[in-house]
Chain A
Amino acid sequence: MTGIYDLVPAIALLPLVSFVVALFAGKYLPKKGALAGIAATGGSLVLSLLVALTVATSDGANAGYNETLYTFLEGSSSAPFSLELGVLVDPLSALMLVIVSLISFLVHVFSLGYMNDEGETGLPRYYAGLGLFSFSMLAFVFASNILMAFMFFELVGLCSYLLIGFWFREAGPPSAAKKAFLVTRFGDYFFLVGVVAIFATFGTGAFAGSESFPHLAEQALHGEHAVNTFLGLGEQAWFTVIGLLVLGGVMGKSAQFPLHTWLPDAMEGPTPVSALIHAATMVAAGVFLVARMYGFYALSPTALGVIAFVGGFTALFAATMGVVKQELKQVLAYSTISQYGYMMLALGGGGYVAAVFHLTTHAVFKALLFLGAGSVIIAMHHNENMWDMGGLKDRMPVTYWTFLAGSLALAGIFPFAGFWSKDEVLYETLIHGLGESPLLLGGYTMGLLAVAFTGFYTFRMVFLTFHGKPRTEVAEDPEPVRWNVKGPLVVLGVLATTLGAINMVPIKKLTGADIDYLHQFLDYGPEAFLTNVHHYGELLENPEFAGYGAADIGTTGLLVSAALSLGLALAGAGLAYRLYNVPEPVEHTDRLGRLKTLLMHNYYQDEFQVWLATGLTVPVAKAADTFDQSIIDGVVDGISTVSRFAGRGVRRIQTGVVRNYAALLTLGLVLLVAFFGVTGGWF
């Protein structure tokens, strides 16, 4: 089945073809390019499944693929690295390919209902944007080196900008699109510096193999390989700096604090776009990048600590803000930020498999929740305010039950998918924290608190939207949705319920059954790639590198941790049940008073960032401008002024009086003769 690997570029190129078709021929097609997109992403999905199957069932070298397809800059003696485009297929990227193409396919189908049936205009542009995004994201997933990853990272940012600002004739979407682009671009600046630093330090940007930069970094720390370090730092310190630089881009894309401000505004885009880009795939790109480079991050405990702390803090921070929001998609946006915080916490805490597992389940249930919200929004004639809804569960049963499945998964209730993944995240962080890294316990605590908030806001959302009595006329008579909306919801609902089965680690630990399929899958892949889980585990536990020790808290500890997180989730859900599962709920959050204002204003982060631009950057720019005008231009002008002034002084020698000329002549002659006489020895 090695032939399948030659088709991997087609996984990304099919959506590119649908992009071109939608852009140029979309207005002539009956569904304005939707069918091309569905066919393309369906094809990508089939190919991705085949690739994943090949990786899972082959052994040895056939279980992966790491080839360069095109070198666009050969290395030379002065710059001994080459810039190339290549394909890397290993368990992580195969899994991500399946996730991305599946969600993309379902979103394309859903868009038939959300966009086409609602009579939206400009659809060729929409489907072209979706196709271009799918191409960029899929190519990013199988990128073989960090430069190629950066290129497609930027492309997905561009597509996000195009799609958020889809309804550009209104005031909100273009502004939100610009904000998204600029905030992620700010993080990507540090990422670019990091990419250049990687090339300058290691001479290569490859992710996998013995010539990859994580492996070279590991050898450098062992003293077996020489790398260039800069700023006079030692090797581990410099690798930490590189890791933190790349983390800038990750934090922007995955909406971690403080670069999270763009994601709630990005909800101005159409809901399928929010489901695809801002829930399941583009924001996953940051976390995926860290997982891809995990062999490099595992070498630096400082970088891992920063990741864990930022993740844990973001998880709690965003969860508190989600509690007071009134619009459906806003709650989901803050939920997304919070859940990606969990994934970062897992990665920083040494739980690689936990992070990937949570990435997978989150993609499924968050896409499900967004598509369900889209269904509700269609029904409510595009009114998102939850306080205008209510009682929809009898009127929209399919939407209700799938949305409930997604919410149970999000809150982490047993036995839905989110429970297994979130529990494993917290468990891994806990045991590594109790091991030799007590700082991780801070992140663990924040993650644990966020579980309670998550349960609360999730069920507040469910109860306000679907339960109780309808609060407006539209809620009493919602618009019906068709199969193209309900179909993807059902598929995702089933997945959200059952996906936890791929990695039920607690049951494995209790019964010894070998059912942690995801862990085994990620441990596959050719040994030569050095990207499998046990290699990362060795790096993490090596005291020369991260030095993470795993405390053994036994099965009781496991059960206690699981019970703790489940209990907190149920407590939050229970509070929401009591407050909001009444026929006519009121805004209990008003009781928070000034705290509610703070939360509604998102801790004034947006105002702070605007101030950074106008209050801090503008004066600096003005000072630099003054410096440029007066000093630099002044120096250049000054040189010419000096020469003009000197000239004006020197020309006064030419007085026009012959006597003066004669005097100068004589003087010169005397000096010359005397000089030659003295040096020639005449005297």
Chain B
Amino acid sequence: MRRPRLASDLDPVPGVAALALFGVLAAVILTAGFDAPAGFEAGASVMEGIGYALFDLADQSPLVTEGFLFAFLAIAVVLDAALDGALLLARREGGDES
């Protein structure tokens, strides 16, 4: 195995658009003035907060973590669907031309 080489057979011209986008975004970000970040309370642990929320003890933690619960449920469903879909796509023998 050779060591990885920089791909030289590619046409980098369309990449200029990406660089231009980076330039514009950087210009916008650097000239926008941000206030000081309002961080979280020192020592507050997100994991503990999620745990408390899971057991319906949300007021034990100073953080608002109920949102994570919905996220976990949705993620479970979506990943399950994605897995089934991938299996379906991969299984077709001979491939259909659609």
Contact = CB atoms under 8 A, between A and B. Distances in A.
Judge A-B direct contact (beta carbons within 8 Å): yes
Contacts of A669: 21
A674 B31 CA distance: 13
Interface in B9-42: 14, 17-18, 20-21, 24-25, 27-28, 31-32
B27 A666 contact: no
B28 A682 contact: yes
A499 to B, nearest CB: 106
A683 B31 contact: yes
Contact of B14 (A663, A673, A674): A663
Interface in A664-683: 666-667, 669-670, 673-674, 677, 682-683
A677 B17 contact: no
B31 A666 contact: no
Interface in A53-83: none
Contact of B27 (A659, A660, A667, A677): A677
Interface in A621-650: none
Interface string A584-601: 000000000000000000
Interface residues of A, number: 12
Nearest to B22: A670
B24 A670 contact: yes
Contacts of A677: 24, 27-28
A683 B32 CA distance: 8
A674 B17 contact: no
A659 B14 CA distance: 9
Contacts of A663: 14, 17
Interface in B51-92: none
Contacts of A682: 28, 31-32
Nearest to A665: B17
A673 B20 CA distance: 11
A523 to B, nearest CB: 100
Contact of B24 (A659, A660, A673): A673
Contacts of B24: 670, 673-674, 677
A658 to B, nearest CB: 12
A670 B17 contact: yes
Nearest to A673: B24
Nearest to B17: A666
Nearest to B18: A666
Contacts of B32: 682
B21 A670 contact: yes
A583 B27 CA distance: 127
Residue of B17, B27, B28, B31 with highest tally of chain A CB at under 10 A: B17
Nearest to B30: A683
Nearest to A682: B28
- Give the most central of B21, B24, B25, B28: most A CB within 10 Å: B24
A677 B25 CA distance: 10
A682 B29 CA distance: 9
Contacts of A670: 17, 20-21, 24
Contacts of A683: 27-28, 31
A666 B21 contact: yes
Contacts of B28: 673, 677, 682-683
Nearest to A660: B14
B32 to A, nearest CB: 7
A673 B32 CA distance: 14
A155 B70 CA distance: 97
Nearest to A677: B28
Nearest to B14: A663
Contacts of B14: 659-660, 663
Nearest to A659: B14
Nearest to A664: B17
A663 B14 CA distance: 6
Nearest to B27: A683
A55 B84 CA distance: 116
Contact of A667 (B17, B25, B31): B17
A404 to B, nearest CB: 111
Contacts of A673: 21, 24-25, 28
A667 B17 CA distance: 6
A56 to B, nearest CB: 105
A682 B27 CA distance: 9
B82 to A, nearest CB: 21
Contacts of A659: 14
Contacts of B31: 682-683
Nearest to B23: A670
Contacts of B27: 677, 683
A465 to B, nearest CB: 105
B43 to A, nearest CB: 38
A654 to B, nearest CB: 17
A677 B21 CA distance: 13
A663 B20 CA distance: 11
Nearest to A672: B24
A669 B21 CA distance: 8
A669 B20 CA distance: 10
A539 B42 CA distance: 119
A517 B32 CA distance: 113
Contacts of B20: 666-667, 670
Contacts of B18: 666
Interface centre among B18, B20, B25, B32 (most CB of A within 10 A): B20
B92 to A, nearest CB: 23
Contacts of A667: 17, 20
A452 B27 CA distance: 110
A44 B67 CA distance: 112
Contacts of B17: 663, 666-667, 670
Given A663-B17, A670-B20, 6 more contacts: A666-B17, A666-B18, A667-B17, A670-B24, A673-B25, A683-B27
Closest 5 CB pairs of A and B: A666-B17, A663-B14, A670-B20, A670-B21, A667-B17
Interface of A: 659-660, 663, 666-667, 669-670, 673-674, 677, 682-683
19 contacts: A659-B14, A660-B14, A666-B17, A666-B20, A666-B21, A667-B17, A667-B20, A669-B21, A670-B17, A670-B20, A673-B21, A673-B24, A674-B24, A677-B27, A677-B28, A682-B31, A683-B27, A683-B28, A683-B31
